[in-house]
Structure 1
């Protein structure tokens, strides 16, 4: 068994020489730099009292230093707890109180805001900014460039990632060295990453997509990345001249489609475009193929499991699906209440089991027990079906299921129909309290620029496409849909905002 399960695997796949990250306007970071910098940060953490099994929480801007901090946590045996940079001070205090880290690292500009908060004030704080400066970086600067990695096994905790918390308080998903390594190896091989690849990294790194999926695949392939601090369509398009792959959320692709320079010639060096973290509209899939000649590869995962499915590298990448279960993942669709396994095209709860699946929620054994079946399958909360070819289709979230007049309505079906209408940019369908129906199907629509679209237009078009009980009772127009940092529509915010809609009428 490796002394340090995951980092030893990472190091074994690092090339002796070569570039790990090209950073626009800055010096490139080599793999030799990665070894040395992560060692120096690991020494700094150990010097601050961090021991194997401790938690290290970080709310820091995207930087190479932040990635080195994560690798240093692996090396010294600590569990890394990345926190969204958009979280408020009050939210951060909740996470610090819950995780009880030995050390909390934040941007220097946030230190004053955290001094008066109980949990933050009781936790040792160091700083790290987007330019790689700060008290932690200063302590690491003079440390040795080699480090004796702490022994960590496959089942030891490597990270705690807090879920989005759309219902109740966020929960910390515990991910082991084995969870991270198994998923990374499967994705590296399935998506054919090699040392010849250059990935455009424009994702945030407080989330599993950017921190784990993108970064791990590069590290385990010995590949390199173009490290962009944030997503800017023009910068990403320019980077495709020197890259081979892009990982992004659907918003990346809709914004890139608005760039006049996007065409087959502009992406001639690219071999792969991957989308995840939120559903990719079939319309976007088709538009991208028409403009670039590439079929976007859509995949499906979640904080608790990493990636579960992927459209094939070779074979049909079917728009509107998330492909097949990954080779080491068991996936089934069940009747939510009974757990009965359902057949082809039957809609039910998506459940998964495999080496990628987390061990449970931090300090919430009761919640953990609720989410797992007796045979080890994790109930994802996603509603979906498996078609006759084996492709997985996601219909929506269980919490988004609408029960109107005693009948089940899955929002995705209605959203698909609405999004096909001329003048519709995007839509979200939610259930709102209704005296007669219990919940009323309600559509929230964003019009295309200059579109002249009314509620009557939408409802009359749907009347011939949907059963009456599925047809929205009302259509609400908004300039945009609320989204989290990864581009997922926050339907809980729409439900809160429009909760009184039918009472008022």
Structure 2
């Protein structure tokens, strides 16, 4: 098994690991029974009124109270329950409680606006929405008032079900952590009170009816091309992905994990939460990412592992107090990162100044999420240029996107994935599912990549992001990696812009390191001396900050609009 002799195919290996045949609820209970007095969850946010420490016994008791409340609300197995909130304690309780009763957790990006929220609530057939009244600059209650005028007519939400024209399947809105009550919304505490009427036997019976291959979550894709799609992930796929990711990272029993990724993202609720609970560790929860707060939590709570995208690591390295030596981060021994190009110099700086052994991952929502991961002992050079080898029980191949032919080593093509980790499909979108998972069971990722003779995978961009300049393919990631090697460049993104003569040209958008200056002409000569002439961007644009997703990744679609605006170009027009 492993890599083929002369083709870019990695056939799944077991690596002597058997896949778990468990539900999330049963896994959680096994851990709570094994280490009841071990610290399970820490929220150290006195400034937000959250100063919470729960051992596994207490954590289990809170989860069970909520699970009973969910049953009391009339939520059946298979019903869709959406959660729209930052990483508050209730979110974490809901992830486990909903899994216990067989309901489907539908995660909602906290950056959603009213139209996006309406689409998800309708497309996802949401039965109940758990939310907060506001977060940062978004007022979710105002959005709901606009979407659901009938909400204010629901005077007793504990007994009266919501009936709306816009969202005919929505039955309740539960409000978490709000200072005042809202007409039509059921307070979270009242859900717990309703649960007192449900017996332990009723909860056990519901939990026993849940099967490992049932859908546990629906996560909506970003939707940068067309409407977002609801990715259906099972107990089996997410639990085993968490197991295999943690195993390659060397996660040991009882480790402390600083969970800073948003819970609405698979990196948060699967990689961080499930990996930690599987290993009966401690979740040190971040309500949202803030570099200074992360440093304070590391200094005070001594986690051994973190999971952060490069933009988060850069923010921590740049914190003035950290640079003054005010925070001790040497407890960090392991680190997961990925999502964009990571130069050797950044890996080295993170390792030296923050600590830990960075490991690079490739993940997609549709694959539960991690496909490939570097090994702890891989060189920094290998970690900066690849995303490692496929995890156990995972097959990967690189094919020509036009013919489907499997390519040779180090030839660019589309990455395809097969195995236990694949989504069950897109919710209510069988045609889109068939477009993504072919008849042979291979999921077409839309990622351009290549595989070397040792099975290490390198991602060079998205199919839709590839720049075709005068008939030649240019891969943005390759140029981004090169530009990040310049000491003055802190962040780099390359996007396509229209050109009358070449069809498309590359535009490099750069953020310079603090205090650095860089002349465009000098940078152009730097590129011409080191990379092929056709790969040298036609345009170099400098910005003070990058538009990021809630999980800290570049928003390439927004960056392209920024480039077009800065260059005075309109879509479809020449330069």
The TM-score with structure 1 as length reference comes to 0.93
Instruction: Tell me the alpha carbon deviations over residues 295-350 of structure 1, each in whole angstroms, 9 at most, x when there is no partner.
Output: 31111111111111111134545332211110111111111122211222111111
Whether the 8 Å CA contact 2:510–2:541 is kept in 1: the answer is: yes
Structure 1 counterpart of 2:243, from 171, 185, 210: 185
Task: For 1:206 and 1:66, locate their aligned partners in 2 and report how far apart those are by CA, in whole Å.
Answer: 9
Offset at residue 170 of structure 1 (A):
0.8
Of residues 172-181 and 292-301 in structure 1, the stretch that sits farther from structure 2 once superposed is: 292-301
Structure 1 counterpart of 2:293, from 235, 252, 257: 235
Whether the 8 Å CA contact 2:490–2:513 is kept in 1: the answer is: yes
Residues 158-173 of structure 1: matches in 2 within 5 Å?
158-173=216-231
The equivalent residue for 1:126 is: 173
Instruction: Tell me the alpha carbon deviations over residues 367-415 of structure 1, each in whole angstroms, 9 at most, x when there is no partner.
Output: 1111123321111111111223322111111111011111101011111
Whether the 8 Å CA contact 2:395–2:417 is kept in 1: the answer is: yes
Q: Is 1:282 aligned with 2:344?
A: yes
Instruction: Report SS of the residue matched to 1:23.
Output: strand
Structure 1 counterpart of 2:314, from 243, 249, 254: 254
Structure 1: 4+ residue segments shifted above 6 A: 1-4, 131-134, 262-265
Call closer, same or farther: CA 1:122–1:11 in 2, change over 3 Å: closer
Task: For 1:252 and 1:36, locate their aligned partners in 2 and report how far apart those are by CA, in whole Å.
Answer: 34
Q: Is 1:81 aligned with 2:101?
A: no
Structure 1 counterpart of 2:414, from 334, 342, 349: 349
Instruction: Report SS of the residue matched to 1:296.
Output: strand
Task: For 1:97 and 1:265, locate their aligned partners in 2 and report how far apart those are by CA, in whole Å.
Answer: 46
Q: Is 1:95 aligned with 2:157?
A: no
Call closer, same or farther: CA 1:234–1:479 in 2, change over 3 Å: closer
Q: Is 1:311 aligned with 2:359?
A: no
Task: For 1:365 and 1:121, locate their aligned partners in 2 and report how far apart those are by CA, in whole Å.
Answer: 22
Instruction: Report SS of the residue matched to 1:116.
Output: helix
* Root-mean-square deviation over aligned CA pairs: 2.5
Instruction: Tell me the alpha carbon deviations over residues 118-142 of structure 1, each in whole angstroms, 9 at most, x when there is no partner.
Output: 6458622333435899713322146
Call closer, same or farther: CA 1:119–1:208 in 2, change over 3 Å: farther
Structure 1 counterpart of 2:71, from 39, 46, 53: 46
Offset at residue 107 of structure 1 (A):
1.1
Q: Is 1:384 aligned with 2:442?
A: no
Call closer, same or farther: CA 1:261–1:474 in 2, change over 3 Å: closer
The equivalent residue for 1:62 is: 87
Of residues 272-281 and 439-448 in structure 1, the stretch that sits farther from structure 2 once superposed is: 272-281
Offset at residue 163 of structure 1 (A):
0.6
Task: Structure 2 unaligned segments of length 5 or more: list them.
Answer: 1-18, 135-139, 148-164, 181-185
The equivalent residue for 2:133 is: 108
Instruction: Tell me the alpha carbon deviations over residues 410-441 of structure 1, each in whole angstroms, 9 at most, x when there is no partner.
Output: 01111122222242222111111222111112
Whether the 8 Å CA contact 1:323–1:391 is kept in 2: the answer is: yes
Whether the 8 Å CA contact 1:44–1:136 is kept in 2: the answer is: no
Whether the 8 Å CA contact 2:36–2:55 is kept in 1: the answer is: no
Instruction: Report SS of the residue matched to 1:111.
Output: helix
Task: For 1:211 and 1:375, locate their aligned partners in 2 and report how far apart those are by CA, in whole Å.
Answer: 30
Offset at residue 243 of structure 1 (A):
1.7
Of residues 77-86 and 266-275 in structure 1, the stretch that sits farther from structure 2 once superposed is: 266-275
Call closer, same or farther: CA 1:192–1:418 in 2, change over 3 Å: closer
Offset at residue 235 of structure 1 (A):
3.1
Residues 443-462 of structure 1: matches in 2 within 5 Å?
443-462=508-527
Of residues 136-145 and 282-291 in structure 1, the stretch that sits farther from structure 2 once superposed is: 136-145
Instruction: Tell me the alpha carbon deviations over residues 63-92 of structure 1, each in whole angstroms, 9 at most, x when there is no partner.
Output: 111111121111111110010111111210
Whether the 8 Å CA contact 1:286–1:319 is kept in 2: the answer is: no
Of residues 306-315 and 360-369 in structure 1, the stretch that sits farther from structure 2 once superposed is: 306-315
Offset at residue 9 of structure 1 (A):
2.3
Task: For 2:287 and 2:327, locate their aligned partners in 1 and report how far apart those are by CA, in whole Å.
Answer: 26
Equivalent pairs counted in the alignment come to 505
The equivalent residue for 1:244 is: 304
Whether the 8 Å CA contact 1:108–1:127 is kept in 2: the answer is: no
Higher relative contact order by CA 8 Å / sep ≥ 6: 1 or 2?
2
Call closer, same or farther: CA 1:388–1:74 in 2, change over 3 Å: same
Whether the 8 Å CA contact 2:109–2:264 is kept in 1: the answer is: yes
